[in-house]
Structure 1
């Protein structure tokens, strides 16, 4: 049996002693034949090489709640005087390599040197489009934030940033981040790896932030599956004021459905959890899958209309866009 190099803990309902898994759900594992079937089908729509944006220049601190889209799953959450980054990626590629792999088509929505003081970094899982050690090294050098993540991901972070301040949690663990702010690691239907040999050896999940200015749920990557976890999140933690829900990287469905929601399922999550407002994330920065760059936005609009949800309640966030919430 393979040895888990990242996490050594007791078996649970989602950990078999070596690998994590999504209990009761369709497997996310994909073999070489699946990859070849996908890539040889040639279904990918060509994206533009670059898309211009207007980067934001955030204030140092915000008393209420303001969220700025950096790109993909990277967002700056400014809440109750604290500054929080989710899955920060400022690198040119979402890849273990500098010269190959998905390249960003939009610049970061905030220039790195324009970041306010960063107090916390929330990581959802170990895939390269979410856990970028080059960015974490830069953040540590300038801001020394507390980094919070699901089980096992700290081994990757500490290998790259030995002095990083890391806190880890299992699904449903509530982790205090200071006065009146905490995050609960929420379950997700996804998977994780850095190399083919370490598949599902680090846990994946989301973050449900409790703050004096409201509850913010960063979903992380997830499929919809049987939908059970979304009702459980509402039951355990309450309906969030703002949900940050992925809407992109979903085609083809036969390959992606177990791990990434499409816009119709994103709206279903929004309704299941009872969120007041939502931002659509995880689209338009790196081409990871087959759909056109603008398809998630168009399909989100159609899904909201079918569900009878006002479009201003669930907005696809563009890089550089900033959103105030009362």
Structure 2
């Protein structure tokens, strides 16, 4: 038995009995590397305020096969289709941090006012980093919506330890979970890692999500490095036609430290090609300052990468908080 406080289960090709890992791709960054980055300088200044789009009051439901995605900010989205309302990595807190008085502070309000959310059916939490797993927001959702919470292995224990009434369903890579008779979600691998503190690295699993919808698959990648690109090509083979890939484009500098866990815009365009998605939506930029690049540098770098790859800009778009992206027949 390992010393993992979050998950005890059988060994697998990505769990050694104590820690999770990506087969063939060990996570190599040390605490010394972290300190070298943190004290190495090179951070571009961010504004204290960076306006989003119009703050939305979303529809109560989207009936039928259309898919509507509203950007809340950073990696948080409301996905609506087939009468379902699904939140992905919801963060309404002021900071992406273990404390309320320090850490990355949002530079724009959430694109949806919390109290105007429609009835939420399910919440998907990709991994335990503070810009994705926000206990305060999850507790508010539990009190007001009584929705299902689905997350990779081990993150359910993290939630329950902070709020004993937060009961989440925990799944391994490869799981398929029905959300309705026509919509399901698959838990898929990404090149990332996990930790809430200094002593629990890789002790909870992380995942990307692929949603089955009547209009085709929606592939949401929360955080990932590029590595050899194999997992993205695997998604194309496994899930067929992907209508939309939601791909991170920010939090990537300096490359020597970030490349194993965060793609840059050039690699994000490569993921679009690898997975064969019809369209892409960039996220993970413009709300929380996590790394060294300027606030709009991901947009400039994405435009350059699209031009260099011959991909039309309308195929890979971005939205600020409050922005909406829709898929129709």
Written as runs of structure 1 = structure 2, the 5 A alignment for 1:77-226 is: 77-226=79-228
Aligned to 2:239: 237
Q: Distance in 2 between matches of 1:268 and 1:45?
A: 26
Written as runs of structure 1 = structure 2, the 5 A alignment for 1:297-308 is: 297-308=299-310
Contact 1:146–1:164 (8 Å) recurs in 2: no
Aligned to 2:37: 38
Contact 1:144–1:164 (8 Å) recurs in 2: no
Contact 2:252–2:259 (8 Å) recurs in 1: yes
In the alignment, structure 1 residue 56 sits paired with structure 2 residue 56: yes
- The CA deviation string for residues 28-73 of structure 1, in whole angstroms up to 9 with x for no partner, is 4321x21222122211001001112321111100122111000011
Aligned to 2:266: 264
Contact 1:105–1:285 (8 Å) recurs in 2: yes
CA drift of 1:114 comes to 1.3
1:319 is matched with which residue: 313, 318, 321? 321
Q: Distance in 2 between matches of 1:171 and 1:36?
A: 32
Aligned to 1:10: 10
CA drift of 1:105 comes to 0.5
SS in 2 for 1:157: helix
Number of equivalent positions: 325
Q: Distance in 1 between matches of 2:303 and 2:121?
A: 34
Question: Structure 2 length as normaliser, TM-score?
Answer: 0.96
Contact 1:183–1:207 (8 Å) recurs in 2: yes
Question: Structure 1 length as normaliser, TM-score?
Answer: 0.97
Q: Distance in 2 between matches of 1:305 and 1:295?
A: 15
Q: Distance in 1 between matches of 2:276 and 2:37?
A: 35
Q: List runs of 5+ in structure 2 lacking aligned partners.
A: none
Contact 1:28–1:190 (8 Å) recurs in 2: no
- The CA deviation string for residues 266-308 of structure 1, in whole angstroms up to 9 with x for no partner, is 0101110000111100001000000000000111111111111
- The CA deviation string for residues 226-285 of structure 1, in whole angstroms up to 9 with x for no partner, is 111111111112231111100000000000000000000001011100001111000010
Aligned to 1:254: 256
Q: Distance in 2 between matches of 1:314 and 1:123?
A: 24
SS in 2 for 1:70: strand
SS in 1 for 2:301: helix
- The CA deviation string for residues 203-224 of structure 1, in whole angstroms up to 9 with x for no partner, is 0111100122432111111000
SS in 2 for 1:320: coil
CA RMSD of aligned residues (A): 1.3
Q: Distance in 1 between matches of 2:39 and 2:55?
A: 37
Contact 2:27–2:193 (8 Å) recurs in 1: no
